[in-house]
């Protein structure tokens, strides 16, 4: 019998789709309240996952899905950082 490795799954806060963790971008709010994109997927803090699609980032901004998930206000600079992350690393 083969041992299959379990694939960690996470839910996108905008589309509510459950996808493999490696296919999502992790946004973190650390103890200091700083919000940033977590490239390592190991940073401490409250995390939220979003699919790497610009349309979903814009929808998250409109519906405030990330703000609800991280329980804080998110500035336009953070949304721009997420969009540039998608353009530079995910396309």
The average pLDDT across 39-59 equals 94
Look at residue 1 and tell me if it is in a domain. no
Look at residue 4 and tell me if it is in a domain. no
* Burial class for 53, CB neighbours closer than 10 Å (0-12, 13-18, 19+): middle
Q: Using the CB atoms, write b or e for 31-51: b if 16+ within 10 Å.
A: eeeebebbeeeeeebebbbbb
Residue 91: predicted pLDDT: 66
Supply the CATH number for residue 41's domain: 3.30.1230.10
The whole model's pTM is what?
0.90
Counted domains in the chain: 1
Averaged pLDDT of the chain: 93
Largest CA distance in the chain: 51
Domain span including residue 60: 9-90
């Amino acid at each position: 019998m083969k041992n299959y490795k379990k694939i960690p799954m996470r839910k996108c806060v905008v589309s509510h789709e459950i996808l493999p963790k490696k296919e999502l971008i992790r946004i973190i709010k650390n103890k200091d309240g700083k919000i940033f994109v977590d490239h390592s997927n190991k940073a401490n803090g409250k995390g939220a996952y979003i699919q790497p699609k610009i349309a979903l980032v814009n929808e998250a901004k409109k519906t405030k899905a990330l703000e609800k998930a991280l329980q804080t206000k998110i500035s336009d600079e953070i949304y721009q950082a997420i969009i540039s992350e998608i353009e530079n690393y995910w396309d």
